Amino acid sequence: MSKKPETIQPTSANGEESKPKPVAEVRLGDVCAAIWANRTDKGVMYNATFVRRYKVGEKKWRSTNSFGRDDLTLLSIAVGEAASRINELMAQDAVK
């Protein structure tokens, strides 16, 4: 039976686990891709999540997984860049 993937947890300066953070990010305008590393019994596996950031009022920012027509071009570019970055990370892992 396959184990559930474990997200690689970054540690703070004092050695305590902190909130998981992406290992890489791609930002194009309001579209952001976060690349995550998950440790499995087959090694590190990478995946990406995508959000669109928008401002509410003057200071508060929010995120959504909904993309309008005008966001889709940036989203498609972000997908390609995220795939390239994952390939780079996998190549680095292979060298280790």
pLDDT tens across 58-83, in order?
A: 889 999 999 999 999 999 999 999 99
The strand pair at 24-28 and 6-7 is best described as unpaired
Question: What residue ranges do the domains of the chain occupy?
Answer: 6-95
Q: What pLDDT does 1 receive? A: 47
pLDDT at 5: 55
Residue type for position 92: Q
Task: Read off the tokens for 22.
Answer: 């992406």
Residue 78 and residue 13: Cα distance in Å, rounded?
A: 31
Could you count the other beta carbons within 10 Å of the beta carbon of residue 88? 12
The whole-number pLDDT of residue 15 equals 64
- Residues of the chain scoring pLDDT < 70: 1-17
Residue with tokens 């596996």: 45
Closest to 33 (Cα-Cα) out of 53, 13, 18? 53
- In this prediction, residue 53 carries a pLDDT of 97
| Residue 69 pLDDT | 96
